[in-house]
């Protein structure tokens, strides 16, 4: 089942008896889990509400079979149980329990449907007998990271609900600045909505001023200035990162990774390779290909290779106490702009 389908069912207060929810988009997953609990109704822990994890998952069958005294149904949430992971070593005990639970669900699904809402919540899953049992008898929803068009659609809907106008172009800019994590984006869009007010509009300038940019987005700004040989603005961006207490080692690593990607973009164009594949971009990061291609045009292949080597040498010399990282970074950037 797709995320949108599950959300539509929960909005209509439809509940199944068996769920497996997993994936990287934890904000939407947790939001759906809260909606299930809300739709379920009154929850009394230990009576009609049971929480399980890897430490007590062995109790799940007895928890299913014990009646929810005074209530029609019982809600059981089993979170990060480890039942959907392959063991590094063969463990017959774990395997037998997983199989036992799968068989139990298959044989007793009518009982579960009548008296239980059972939800498994995992970060990731691998195919096994338990997953097959849930596929057969319940609902599985993969909360994979959303792609920018899906994110923009959701952010637009939130703005519309508060009667605040915003263009898709400006929402795209927000995603580029803040990344694709829905929790971060929800926090940022609420701030922008509050600033614009009902009937107002979220402007590009306001996004640039009020949003908290990810370090990757800030490094794009730094590299733009560097490519234009504007060393003063490049230094201002670097100093801003330091002022905002970004660890200097993290700044070095981020710059190294950024220039490495620009180098890959340069080589991909040179040898007619697929950039997204060369950079191992996720589906929700495809919009970055255009940005990397555009920035790589500022530099020659040899310049990018030299900057990468200088950053590697800086890290080495810093670790043996030969140079201060902040001074070294500025020296590398200034050296490039002086050419």
Helix 215-227 with 231-243: angle, nearest 10 deg: 160
Question: Considering the chain, what is the average pLDDT of its residues?
Answer: 90
Q: What is the pLDDT of residues 293-331, one digit of tens each?
A: 989 999 999 999 999 999 999 999 999 999 999 999 999
The answer to which of 20-34, 44-58, 80-94, 144-158 has the lowest mean pLDDT is 80-94
> Of 173, 194, 210, which closes a domain?
210
Q: Once rounded to an integer, what is the mean pLDDT over residues 126-155?
A: 93
Q: Looking at the structure, do residues 68 and 190 belong to the same domain, yes or no?
A: no
Question: Residue 124 class from Cβ within 10 Å (0-12 exposed, 13-18 middle, 19+ buried)?
Answer: exposed
* pLDDT the model gives residue 289: 84
Q: Looking at the structure, do residues 10 and 129 belong to the same domain, yes or no?
A: yes
Q: What is the pLDDT of residues 63-79, one digit of tens each?
A: 999 999 889 999 999 99
Q: Once rounded to an integer, what is the mean pLDDT over residues 89-111?
A: 78
Q: Once rounded to an integer, what is the mean pLDDT over residues 140-167?
A: 94
Q: Once rounded to an integer, what is the mean pLDDT over residues 80-94?
A: 65
Here the CATH number for the domain that contains residue 26 is 3.40.50.300
243: pLDDT strictly greater than 80: yes
* pLDDT the model gives residue 90: 44
* pLDDT the model gives residue 204: 94
Task: Give the range of the structural domain holding residue 54, as residue numbers without chain letter.
Answer: 3-142
Q: Looking at the structure, do residues 29 and 86 belong to the same domain, yes or no?
A: yes
* pLDDT the model gives residue 335: 84
> Of 210, 226, 248, which closes a domain?
210
304: number of Cβ within 10 Å: 21
26: pLDDT strictly greater than 80: yes
- Answer for the pair 76, 60: CB distance below 8 angstroms, yes or no: yes
Q: Looking at the structure, do residues 265 and 163 belong to the same domain, yes or no?
A: no
Q: Looking at the structure, do residues 79 and 97 belong to the same domain, yes or no?
A: yes
Domain count, the chain: 3
111: pLDDT strictly greater than 50: yes
Here the CATH number for the domain that contains residue 165 is 1.10.8.60
- Where is pLDDT greater, at 244 or 182? 182
- Alpha carbons 211 and 174: distance in angstroms, whole number: 8
CA angle at 10 for the pair 7 and 15, rounded to the nearest 5°? 130
* pTM given for the model: 0.76
Q: What is the pLDDT of residues 185-223, one digit of tens each?
A: 999 999 999 999 999 999 999 999 999 899 988 998 999
Q: Once rounded to an integer, what is the mean pLDDT over residues 94-112?
A: 88
Here the CATH number for the domain that contains residue 294 is 1.20.272.10
Q: Looking at the structure, do residues 123 and 166 belong to the same domain, yes or no?
A: no
Q: Which of 230, 225, 218, 254 is nearest to 329 (CA)?
A: 254
Q: Residue 88 — very low, low, confident or very high, per pLDDT cuts 50/70/90?
A: very low
Q: Looking at the structure, do residues 299 and 201 belong to the same domain, yes or no?
A: no
Q: Looking at the structure, do residues 169 and 191 belong to the same domain, yes or no?
A: yes
> Of 159, 177, 210, which closes a domain?
210
Q: Looking at the structure, do residues 72 and 154 belong to the same domain, yes or no?
A: no
133: number of Cβ within 10 Å: 22
Q: What is the pLDDT of residues 157-167, one digit of tens each?
A: 999 999 999 99
Q: Looking at the structure, do residues 242 and 325 belong to the same domain, yes or no?
A: yes
92: pLDDT strictly greater than 50: no
Q: Residue 89 — very low, low, confident or very high, per pLDDT cuts 50/70/90?
A: very low
- Alpha carbons 176 and 321: distance in angstroms, whole number: 36
Q: Looking at the structure, do residues 49 and 123 belong to the same domain, yes or no?
A: yes
Query: What secondary structure, in 3-state letters, does 140-181 show?
Result: EEECCCCCHHHHHHHHHHHHHHCCCECCHHHHHHHHHHHCCC
Q: Looking at the structure, do residues 194 and 280 belong to the same domain, yes or no?
A: no
* pLDDT the model gives residue 135: 95
Q: Once rounded to an integer, what is the mean pLDDT over residues 166-193?
A: 93
Length in residues, the chain? 339
């Amino acid at each position: 089942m797709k995320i949108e389908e599950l959300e539509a069912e929960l909005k209509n207060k439809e509940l199944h008896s068996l769920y497996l929810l997993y994936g990287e988009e934890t904000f939407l997953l947790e939001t759906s889990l809260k909606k299930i609990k809300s739709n379920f109704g009154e929850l009394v822990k230990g009576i009609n509400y049971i929480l399980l994890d890897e430490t007590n998952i062995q109790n799940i069958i007895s928890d299913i079979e014990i009646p929810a005294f005074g209530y029609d149904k019982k809600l059981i949430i089993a979170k990060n149980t480890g039942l959907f992971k392959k063991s590094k070593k063969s463990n017959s005990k774990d395997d037998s329990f997983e199989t036992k639970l799968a068989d139990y669900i298959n044989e007793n699904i009518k009982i579960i449907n009548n008296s239980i809402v059972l939800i498994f919540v995992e970060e990731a899953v691998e195919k096994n007998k338990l997953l097959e049992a849930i596929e057969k008898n319940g609902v599985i929803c993969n909360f994979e990271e959303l792609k920018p068009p899906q994110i923009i659609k959701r952010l637009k809907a939130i703005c519309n609900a508060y009667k605040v106008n915003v263009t898709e172009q400006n929402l795209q800019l927000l995603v580029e600045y803040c990344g694709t994590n829905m929790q971060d984006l929800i926090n940022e869009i609420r701030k922008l909505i509050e600033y614009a007010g009902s009937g107002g509009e979220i402007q590009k300038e306001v996004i640039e001023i009020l949003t908290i940019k990810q370090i990757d987005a800030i490094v794009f700004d730094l590299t733009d200035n560097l490519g234009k040989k504007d060393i003063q603005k490049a230094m201002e961006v670097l100093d801003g990162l330091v002022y905002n207490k970004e660890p200097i080692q993290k700044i070095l690593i981020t710059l190294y990774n950024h220039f490495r990607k620009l180098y890959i973009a340069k080589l991909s164009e040179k040898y007619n390779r697929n950039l997204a594949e060369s950079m191992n971009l996720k589906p929700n990061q495809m919009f970055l290909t255009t940005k990397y291609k555009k920035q790589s045009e500022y530099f020659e292949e040899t310049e990018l290779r030299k900057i990468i080597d200088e950053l590697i040498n800086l890290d080495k010399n810093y670790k043996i106490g030969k140079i201060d990282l902040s001074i070294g970074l500025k020296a590398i950037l200034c050296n490039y702009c002086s050419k």
